[in-house]
Structure 1
Amino acid sequence: MTAPENWRKSSYSGAGDGNSCVEIADSSTHTAVRDTKAPAHGTLTFPTATFSTFIQALKDTPRR
């Protein structure tokens, strides 16, 4: 995956603490994740289907 240019913050990033979050970027085959506070420190990259399964599992997990 080449360096993504379409980074976006989580919708949970609110005012005041908006830099304590993660950003994601999509390509046709992969999803990249990085720390908003330190974007130059590294990126995790996952196949899109794997990342989608992970996100769906988070949504399906009951909140405490």
Structure 2
Amino acid sequence: MWVALRMFEERRNLLTTFANEQTGAAARSAKERAALSQVHIDRIRAILLADDKATKSDLPS
């Protein structure tokens, strides 16, 4: 899952860079795809952090 998170972060960064260098429909499309990548990033991060908390609370004190 960490690899998926890094992949989506890299995709978002590339799309953002591309959007900043373009104009018109190409820029809008890249910005929209970067925003969708951010949604995936947030979801994956939430899953990973929730799993981390569950694992820590399962350990004996």
TM bin, normalised by shorter chain, reads: 0.3 to 0.5
Q: Which has the higher helix share?
A: 2
Give the TM-score normalised by structure 1: 0.32
Q: Which has the higher strand share?
A: 1
Higher relative contact order (CA 8 A, sep 6+): 2
Higher-Rg member (1/2):
2
